[in-house]
Amino acid sequence: MKNDRTFASWPHFLAGMESGINERCVERTLSQWTRRLADGDERAWVWFHERYYLALLRYAARCSGNPSAASEVVQQAYLRIARHAKPFAEEADFWGWLCCVVRCAAVDHGRHVKRRMVLLEKFAHWRTLHSGDETAWHLSTKQASAVAEEALAKLPVDDAALLRRKYCDGWSTWELAADLGTTPKTIEHRLARLRQRLREIILRIQ
């Protein structure tokens, strides 16, 4: 009986094998692949990555003007593609859409880097006066961004967020006070303490 059941299962097994082979052999159209991509299909993402990643990486390097940032830009573009993917019938239309996504990701990445540098730049003059070394803060963009990010990461989350909102996003003390339910004077005192704390952290890092 056991052998009979095993033998009886062979047609289903062979049918499954044939189905898998056929699926691998079928040449899908761009419309089919992009539709599956929009549905979050894993095989479609493998197809997409193998077919477009290197081209998008080169394009991101040109858009950002910084080859070392290209992979980060493409990662951000992938997140947007995952959220907004849709079927495309023509290769030119699909590539144009991908380029648009990468350009937007590159612009946002550049803005983010600049925001991360703002706090460091605001303390540059203070550091120069403190150290007497006018070259002390002549850092590259990458170095300055890393120092600012490292210093902010050492602060409590709420304190770092307050500094970002004030000096990166341009919130006034009145706006911050209204949002946090306190007075502008309290915000000014808190910012003064945080600036001093951040200076101390940056001095240790440097």
Token readout for 114 is 């600049």
User: What pLDDT tens digit does each residue of the chain (206 aa) get?
Assistant: 444 444 444 444 434 444 444 444 457 899 999 999 999 999 999 999 999 999 999 999 999 888 888 998 999 999 999 999 999 999 999 999 999 999 999 988 877 766 666 666 655 555 555 555 544 445 555 566 667 778 888 889 899 888 888 877 778 889 899 889 999 999 999 998 988 888 788 777 66
| Cα–Cα distance, 13 to 21 (Å, whole number) | 12
DSSP state of 89: S
- My answer on whether 98 and 193 are in the same domain is no
Residue with tokens 């991101």: 60
Domain containing residue 88: CATH number: 1.10.1740
Identity of the amino acid at 193: R
Domain range for 167 = 123-205
Does 118 reside within a domain? no
Residue with tokens 């000096």: 167
- My answer on whether 66 and 161 are in the same domain is no
Per the structure, the count of domains in the chain is 2
What integer pLDDT is reported at residue 17 of this predicted model?
41
Note the pTM of the prediction, 2 decimals.
Answer: 0.51
- My answer on whether 93 and 131 are in the same domain is no
Crossing angle for the helix pair 141-153 and 184-205, to the nearest 10 degrees: 120
**Where among 86, 111, 136 does a domain terminate?**
111
Instruction: Name the maximum alpha-carbon separation found in the chain.
Output: 93
- My answer on whether 43 and 71 are in the same domain is yes
